[in-house]
Copies of this chain bind each other. A is one copy, B any other.
Amino acid sequence: MALVTKVEHKVSKEHFDRVAVGLRAELLQLQEQLKSQDFPVVLLFAGAAVAGKTEALNTINEWMDPRWIETHAYGPPSDEERERPEYWRFWRDLPPRGRIGLTLGSWYHQRVQDFVYDRIDKPTYFQALKRIAAFERTLTDDGVLLLKFWMHMDEADQKKVMKKLQKSKTDAWRISKSDWKHFKHNRAFERANEIAIKKTNVAAAPWIIIDGLDARYRTLEILTTIRDALKAHIRLRSNRRKLAEKARERTNRVRDAELRAAPAEQESAARGKNGSLDAAASKRSAARQPTILDKLDMSLSLTDKAYHTAIQDSRAELGDLCRKLHFAGKSALVLFEGPDAAGKGGAIRRLTAAMDARDYRVIPIAAPTDEERARHYLWRFWRQLPRAGRIAIFDRSWYGRVLVERVENFAQVDEWQRAYTEIREFEEQLSASGLVVVKFWVHIDKDEQHRRFKEREKSSLKSWKLTPEDWRNRAKWDDYSRAVDEMVERTSTPSSPWTIVEGNCKKHARIKVMKTLCDALKKAVLADRE
């Protein structure tokens, strides 16, 4: 293996003691600084069994303040983990911003072993490494400082250390039968590792190869690397924040200028005086490009009679399919997006009325909690993934990133632009794990929304549903249309396509939702039987 040319890396006790004191003080101070930073640190350790991975974790915990460090070592998954997509457990354990996560037997371990022991073929292995690279990119794009340490030790040295440990009274427990078994396949492991390292060695998350033979050398190497990287990353993020701040100011200036250009229209829109609103909107829409939403046949409707027959049939079918899904141990995820008052809630209630309350969970997406805000925006959705046999229904979803966050400038341009890829990858993982993903955009046109808002204002039972924000969102109708157009275009995939539901007629919309879901579940249940 050519990763490391064999050089004697040794550090004397005197040198170590001299350097260690200052290094430790620096690390503690950096850790203190980190607490108020907007990113977490993930340190990953991989490599030969006896090359010092565990010792590295222990030293970091000893030198730094263990209260702000989380250590996660991955063995076989628990049954709650097995019932979800592979990466659920890694997402679940991601540290919040300001903290350090240490990872052992990480997302690499299982896959490397699978390949070495011929449980997967080469293309599958490559695919798995691609998934790893994508996962790590998702983290680093979000600002995570990800350092991957590869503890290296050549075969002869490994053998020596293992034999020595085995003879030791206090350390013999560390060498198990499976360690020797793995060791017999050392060549194969080296090959597999070399591929893994090559395929996942990117600038944002490079591999740091550490010669594991000398304990003092490797300790100093690892800890100075952490110190330098942490220092640099804090500086980098602070610069980025400043740039982002400037960009935001610029955007706001442009918007303010626009507002000054058409003050009356905008203001009345914001205040909910909607007479002039539609005039303003139609003036703007004159210039705009047609979107996918313009091509919908919004006149689609159902008679009462047709609806009642259809809803009863669909209800029976859906109930039956959900039961089959449950007994097959498969899970499903249904999500709803759409303008305010489009009837998402009503459609959801027609679905759940057909299901057993023990099998589904409706997850309304509003403002994130502070635990959610402290992590990647996808974390809050990962944590809600259903167990085997269950159905999760999302009332709004991760698509907020490319809808409201885009339109309202909550996310920066590069953030929502890369979200298309992140979301595609996320949903691919769900589908790959056997989870059925069904996505609905329930649409209404502007006139219909106006009618429903007015109705809500009048109805005492529904008036709480209407807020000034609804009127504000309405003023940005065209911006939303563009965002929806791009979203559907970029995130409709064979395994999780968008279904656009013409929602002016609630009856039509509800039946279309029911039937689409039935078709998707039927396919899944049938596929499972084959």
Contact = CB atoms under 8 A, between A and B. Distances in A.
Interface string A340-372: 000001001100110111101111100001110
A44 to B, nearest CB: 14
Given A54-B356, A358-B54, A349 B464 contact: no
A67 interface: yes
Given A78-B80, A352-B62, A370-B370, A57 B357 contact: yes
Nearest to A320: B170
Nearest to A355: B58
A316 interface: yes
B361 A71 contact: yes
A102 B395 CA distance: 20
A448 interface: no
Interface residues of A, number: 48
Nearest to A319: B170
A60 B68 CA distance: 43
A29 interface: yes
A356 B67 contact: no
A25 interface: yes
Contact of A58 (B54, B60, B67, B356): B356
B358 A71 contact: yes
A222 to B, nearest CB: 13
Looking at chain A's contact residues, is the secondary structure mostly helix, strand, loop, or mixed?
helix
A353 B57 CA distance: 11
A30 B231 CA distance: 53
Nearest to A462: B28
A186 to B, nearest CB: 23
Q: Name the residue among A69, A71, A355 with the largest chain B CB count within 10 angstroms.
A: A71
A468 interface: no
A358 B53 CA distance: 11
Contacts of A464: 32
Contacts of A57: 357-358
Contact of A364 (B68, B323, B356): B68
Contact of A358 (B29, B104, B370): B104
Contacts of A395: 67
Contact of A67 (B60, B62, B355, B364): B364
Contacts of A461: 25, 28-29
21 contacts: A25-B461, A54-B356, A57-B357, A58-B353, A58-B356, A58-B357, A60-B357, A65-B345, A65-B349, A66-B362, A68-B364, A70-B361, A71-B357, A73-B358, A78-B79, A79-B79, A104-B358, A170-B320, A173-B323, A369-B370, A370-B371
